[in-house]
């Protein structure tokens, strides 16, 4: 049976990290915890749980990609590696299911499963995350940071790109696919996540970070995130400019531009209802998804401004 190792990354996750460490205890050959400058008791808790601790150098900007790479490098002779974020708890039985699938499908480089929110109904923002995690099983283009990867495939593509601060998992998965590997989502529960988003400002910053990922990953792989970038530019830039111009020159033009937003909201709500969301949730989620184009644009602009100035790609944190 192929051994499985776990790389867990975090920064000031507190009780969430304690739960994450407890969930992997006894399930993996090696457990590595990579810390990105925590000021709480994360390091002590990880050591107390028996994990090997890696502390990232404070002189280099932190990224999840850099942390995962450091965790992989700290492993002894890895073969299958499960990556988990520090705000997630592993579901019992997942490691065995993922390992069995990879052993049976040698062309599959990576498998992921379903992530769900521990406190789904604590806020609208947590509900939105929960819906975001639940995607159809089968062959996929990319996934989030919780995944089991073949060590050989990880090495062959050079691991994660350490300067990508958001959607680094999409970027990594894109390189795996370009190298000829298959990626799959299995129809099994994998991790329980605690987004802990209770304020609008947290959601806004997370959406800014998402927009940064659209731009940065799109810069590296122009064929990826094309729809997301186009929607952001249309709804957060082109339509507002048309509305302003119309208000000055031709008011029906302004009305037509503004009418695009309720239409987009209605289409999004209908799509969410088809995906199984109750009507009240679908309407509320659609409102945030329609509004998200504006912070997405801020994130895209932030990336391009940083790139032009050759400034460091620093984390955009929402917790």
Q: What is the pLDDT at residue 61?
A: 83
| Beta-ladder partners of 184 | 111, 139
- Return d(Cα 29, Cα 101) in angstroms, integer: 18
Residues 6+ apart with CB under 8 A from 103: 1, 2
pLDDT > 80? residue 127: yes
pLDDT, residue 196, reads 87
Q: What is the pLDDT of residues 173-184, one digit of tens each?
A: 999 999 999 999
pLDDT tens, residue by residue, 65-114? 999 999 999 999 999 999 999 999 999 999 999 999 999 999 999 999 99
- The per-residue pLDDT for 285 is 96
Residues 103/97, Cβ–Cβ less than 8 Å: no
Query: For 199-234, what is each residue's pLDDT tens digit?
Result: 999 999 999 999 999 999 999 999 999 999 999 999
Domains (range + CATH), the chain: 4-198 (3.90.550.10), 202-309 (no CATH)
Please report the pLDDT score of residue 318 as a whole number: 84
């Amino acid at each position: 049976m192929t051994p499985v190792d776990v790389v867990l990354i975090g920064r000031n996750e507190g009780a969430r990290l304690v739960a994450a460490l407890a969930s992997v205890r006894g399930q993996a050959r090696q457990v590595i915890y990579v810390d990105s400058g925590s000021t709480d008791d994360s390091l002590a808790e990880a050591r107390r749980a028996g994990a090997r601790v890696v502390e990232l150098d404070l002189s280099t900007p932190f990224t999840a990609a850099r942390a995962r790479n450091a965790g992989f490098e700290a492993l002894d002779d890895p073969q299958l590696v499960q990556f988990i974020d520090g705000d997630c708890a592993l579901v019992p039985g997942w490691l065995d299911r993922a390992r069995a699938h990879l052993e049976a499908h040698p062309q599959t480089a990576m498998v992921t499963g379903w992530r769900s929110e521990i406190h789904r109904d604590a806020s609208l923002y947590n509900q939105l995350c929960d819906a975001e995690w639940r995607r159809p099983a089968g062959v996929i283009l990319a996934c989030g940071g919780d995944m089991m990867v073949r060590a050989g495939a990880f090495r062959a593509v050079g691991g994660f790109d350490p300067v990508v601060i958001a959607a680094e998992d999409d970027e990594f998965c894109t390189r795996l696919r370009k190298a000829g590997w298959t990626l799959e989502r299995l129809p099994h529960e994998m991790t329980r996540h605690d987004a802990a988003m209770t304020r609008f400002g947290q959601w806004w910053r997370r959406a800014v970070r998402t927009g940064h990922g659209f731009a940065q990953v799109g810069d590296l792989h122009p064929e990826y995130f094309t729809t997301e970038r186009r929607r952001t530019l249309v709804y957060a830039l082109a339509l507002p400019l048309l509305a302003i111009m119309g208000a000055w020159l031709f008011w029906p033009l302004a009305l037509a531009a503004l009418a695009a937003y309720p239409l987009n909201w209605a289409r999004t709500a209908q799509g969410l209802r088809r995906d199984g969301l109750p009507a009240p949730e679908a309407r509320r989620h659609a409102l945030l998804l329609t509004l998200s184009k504006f912070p997405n644009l801020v994130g895209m602009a932030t990336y391009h401004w940083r790139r032009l100035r050759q400034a460091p790609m620093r984390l955009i944190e929402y917790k």
